[in-house]
Amino acid sequence: MASLQEPEIQFAQKLASNEKPIRTKAIKKLRKYINVRSQKATGGFTGDELLKLWKGLFYCLWMQDKPLLQEELSHQISTLIHSFHDIDGPFLYLESFLQTFKREWTGIDRLRMDKFFQLVRFMFRQTFEMLKKKNWESSVVARFLELLMTQLLQSSSAAPSGLQFHFLDLYMTELAAVGSAELTADQNLMFIEPFCRTADKTKDRTLFRAICNSIFSTIIDQAPFAIEDLMKELKAAEDSDSDSGQASEEDDEDQIKEKTSKLLSKKRTGKQINGSRSKAEEDDEEEHEEEEEEEEDEDEDELLHLEESDTELPCDDDIVPVLQFDYVGLADKLFELASR
């Protein structure tokens, strides 16, 4: 047994090293180690082994400074969940992560809290990505939801309030970012079932209010944007905009040609070639030419603006993905909870 635990202890020591090159090398080797070991029929990890690895991973992030490097490291740590080849590995990895954070949470100072908040977000994002790769299979999703109940939401979980609240804040956002294009309304109801059960049974009023604000209020607030017909209309409008794009470009070209011809016609008019003029006429002509030159400068600026400007369209990043729900079923659940 000691020989089986020895690699995990060595990894933990190197991951928590004071020297960054050693930590970086250990992360890369750990990914390969998990990949190779989980391919073996008898090579699965135990909970104790992954807890040792997570002890090292926790302090690996603890030692890392500079926000961009912290973000990169959090991404590397969270994506290790995809290195397991059996279905038990990712769930054991997530469970060990939650157990480690529950144990270490109160010892995190406020200067380091942001990077650990980020790792929690990344871990759940990659967990949803893992569920997506499994095609949101109901048995796999049910296992994930049960893990949330036992490790975070039940009173017996001993989860710190700060960790619970941060998890509630990110849950709907990360689930929508990964699964809004695929999940059905019935599947989304299943994803909020643990919160319904917790709200029904918990005696912690603070946790109850946090669930209502972060989960149920979010669903209600996003309801107008999550209606399927509205999404179809937006898609149709997007398609029609792409079709009318060519017509608008032609209109711009016609407008540019019109401005150009206007400029050319103004340049053709000007000094009189034949005939004599009085001094007053010459003065009037000079003033008229100065006015025309000013108008030409304004027209040229407008023409340049027409050529260089593009039509501003809403960016895709501005559209926040939302989840669709069976709002009748959701309302029944909420009324049922409220009546108890």
Kindly write down the DSSP assignment for every residue of 137-185, as one continuous string: -HHHHHHHHHHHIIIIISGGG---HHHHHHHHHHHHHHHHHHHTTT--H
Q: Is residue 246 part of a domain?
A: no
Evaluate whether 199 touches 211 at the Cβ level (below 8 Å): yes
Least confident of 5-9, 148-152, 191-195: 5-9
Using 50, 70 and 90 to split pLDDT, how confident is the model at 336? confident
Same domain, 40 and 60: yes
pLDDT at 137 over 70: yes
| Domain end call among 77, 94, 122 | 122
Least confident of 5-14, 109-118, 248-257, 324-333: 248-257
pLDDT above 90 coverage of the chain, percent? 57
pLDDT above 70 coverage of the chain, percent? 71
Same domain, 85 and 160: no
Using 50, 70 and 90 to split pLDDT, how confident is the model at 229? very low
Find, among 76, 69, 84, the residue nearest to 34 by Cα. 84
pLDDT value for 182: 92
pLDDT at 292 over 80: no
d(CA 338, CA 200): 9
Same domain, 208 and 327: yes
Same domain, 226 and 185: yes
Same domain, 22 and 61: yes
Find, among 310, 211, 182, the residue nearest to 252 by Cα. 310
What spatial distance separates the first Cα and last Cα of the chain, rounded to whole Å? 51
What values do phi and psi take at 248, rounded to 5? Answer: -65, -35
Q: Is residue 269 part of a domain?
A: no
Domain range for residue 220?
134-236+319-340
Q: Is residue 29 part of a domain?
A: yes
Distance, C-alpha 221 to centroid of its chain: 19
Q: Is residue 247 part of a domain?
A: no
The one-letter amino acid code at 8 reads: E
Q: How many domains does the chain have?
A: 2
Q: Is residue 159 part of a domain?
A: yes
Same domain, 113 and 142: no
Using 50, 70 and 90 to split pLDDT, how confident is the model at 67? very high
Same domain, 173 and 47: no
| Domain end call among 91, 122, 153 | 122
Same domain, 200 and 332: yes
Q: Is residue 107 part of a domain?
A: yes
pLDDT at 249 over 90: no
d(CA 201, CA 320): 32
Strand, helix or coil for residue 291: helix
| Domain end call among 122, 144, 160 | 122
pLDDT value for 96: 98
Using 50, 70 and 90 to split pLDDT, how confident is the model at 286? low
Q: Is residue 110 part of a domain?
A: yes
Mean pLDDT, residues 251-272 taken together: 53
Those residues whose C-beta lies under 8 Å from the C-beta of residue 18, and which sit 6 or more positions away, are 63
Using 50, 70 and 90 to split pLDDT, how confident is the model at 263? very low
pLDDT value for 326: 82
d(CA 106, CA 113): 10
Distance, C-alpha 26 to centroid of its chain: 28
Strand, helix or coil for residue 315: coil
Same domain, 36 and 88: yes
pLDDT digit string, tens, across residues 209-221: 999 999 999 998 8
The one-letter amino acid code at 40 reads: K
Same domain, 145 and 116: no
Q: Is residue 40 part of a domain?
A: yes
pLDDT at 13 over 80: yes
d(CA 156, CA 140): 23
